[in-house]
Amino acid sequence: MINAINAVSALGMTRGIGDVSLDAAQQALSPQQATGGLATGMTFGEVLGNMTTEAITNLKGAEAASFAGIKGEISTREVVDAVMQGEQSLQTAIALRDKVVTAFLDITRMQI
């Protein structure tokens, strides 16, 4: 998830070929990236969309894990791990949303 933010920063856009191997390596290790080879970055809208989807996915995973945990099908630690992961991605999504909303309000207040 944080890789996606890096990839979209202005610096990331201009780094180009030199950083392909590093980003590709990071993405190979990170299971969250569904597609590889996005070293040159995605648009901000796509990042936002991905992040929200991922947050929702992790939250659903946390809920499913909680159900299974209550029924006694999986171990306690796995439930805890899933819930923590859901919490992390939710916080990330919220932080990003707050920044976007603040930025948007700033823009609307700009004098033309």
Partner 1 sequence: MQPIQLFDLASRQASWLSVRQQVVSTNIANANTPKYMAKDVTPFNAVLDSTPVRMARTNPGHMTDSSQLSDEVDVVKAKLDQEIGVQESGNSVGIVEEMSKTGEIKRQYELNAALVKSFHRMMLMTLKK
Partner 2 sequence: MDPLAASMKISGSGLETQSTRLRIVSENIANARSTGDTPGADPYRRKTITFGSELDKATGGTLATVKKFGVDRSKYTEEYDPGNPAADEKGIVKMPNVNMLVEMADMREANRSYEANLQTIKQTRELIAATLDLLKASQ
| Residues in touch with partner 2 (CB under 8 A) | 72, 74-77, 80, 83-84, 87
Interface positions, 23-42, toward partner 1 (CB under 8 A)? 26, 29-32, 34
Q: Where are the alpha helices (DSSP H) in the chain?
A: 2-8, 10-15, 20-29, 44-71, 76-108
Exposed/middle/buried for 3, CB within 10 Å: 0-12, 13-18, 19+?
Answer: middle
Question: To which residue do tokens 């992390």 refer?
Answer: 88
**Which of the choices partner 1, partner 2, none does residue 83 contact, using the CB cut-off of 5 to 8 A by kind?**
partner 2
Cβ-based neighbour number of residue 11 at 10 Å: 9
* Minimum CB–partner distance for residue 6 and partner 1 (Å): 10
Q: Which is nearer to partner 1, 44 or 99 (CB)?
A: 99
Q: Binding partner 1 by CB under 8 A: which of 9, 36, 88, 100?
A: 88
